[in-house]
Structure 1
Amino acid sequence: MQKKVLFLCTQNSARSQMAEAILNDKGKGKFIGFSAGSQPADDINVYAKIVMKEMGIDISNYKPKSIKQFLNEKFDFVITLCDKAKNECPTLPNDAIYVHWGITDPRDFKGNEEETVNHFKKIRNELTRRINLFIDLPVDKLDKVILRKRLDEIISK
């Protein structure tokens, strides 16, 4: 049975959307990804769309979603990607494993278009690296304490 993963960040316009799409692409059959934000934006960040399309994943039809629409959903994992979402994230009514993979908000980057695209690529590549490590874990064979420790360690690998 697929493990359900919810990625959270503030606006659900870049990091969490990219993480959802990457997990759904790479974790087919083993995981299913979702994403939401504590204060969702109106649309997906254009640079997130560009860098995901470059790796063959189209997120142009994705829409930012509020965490509120997932409050009654059961997830196996909830992964926050920014400190604000970690602090504002409501506890969902289940026994999900909560992990924090802090990644800087790409909206805060200042640079020309080429520099901005390259910055978004770095974030996409870091998310891809972490998700690849995540999907390689034997999630069905580890107890929750060990699994959470392994998920926390992914940031430092």
Structure 2
Amino acid sequence: MAEGLLRNIYGSRYEAYSAGIMATNVNPYAVRVMKEIGIDISSQYSKTHKEFQDVIFDMAVTVCDRAKVSCPICSTNLEVPVEYPKAREVIHKSFEDPAATLGSEDEKLKVFRQIRDEI
């Protein structure tokens, strides 16, 4: 959702790439709630560090506590082995993981909307 929002709002000023520790599918609830505000993220896909080898990003933003701890892309040490991308600056913002929400479809959508709006 963060990648889609950044591309939509600031796409002429920034390039956004979303990656995770492991490649996964984009959550269908995320696709639905983003579509509600006119942003189509259905063609986005989960990427891993392997797709960004040898890249030095200006900034990396982690959006959950688990990523902050385990994200190799977020190392500000430019001496990290070449197989891992690097970032000159790292920002962390902790959001609840909406995919971890249990409950009815309406309850899940409510949490996805809340996180979308917080981002």
- The TM-score normalised by the length of structure 1 is 0.65
Counting only pairs closer than 5 Å after superposition, residues 67-146 of structure 1 correspond to structure 2 as 67-90=49-72, 91=75, 93=78, 94=86, 96-127=88-119
Match of 2:103, as an amino acid? G
1:104 shift after superposition: 1.3
In the alignment, is residue 54 of structure 1 matched against residue 61 of structure 2? no
| 1:31 has 2:14 as partner | yes
Give structure 1 stretches of 5+ with no counterpart. 1-17, 128-157
The percentage of aligned residue pairs carrying the same residue is 38
Partner of 2:41: helix, strand, or coil?
coil
User: Residues 4 and 41 of structure 2 are in contact (CA less than 8 Å); yes or no, is this contact kept in structure 1?
Assistant: yes
Whole-Å Cα distance in 2 between the matches of residues 82 and 95 of structure 1? 17
Read off the aligned partner of 1:76 and give its amino acid letter.
D
For residue 60 of structure 2, give the secondary structure of its aligned residue in structure 1.
strand
Q: Counterpart in 2 of 1:21?
A: 4
- Residue 47 of structure 2: aligned partner: 65
Q: Hey, what's the Cα distance between the residues in 1 that align with 2:53 and 2:61?
A: 15
Unaligned runs of 5+ in 2: 79-85
Q: Which amino acid aligns with 1:23?
A: L
Higher helix share: 1
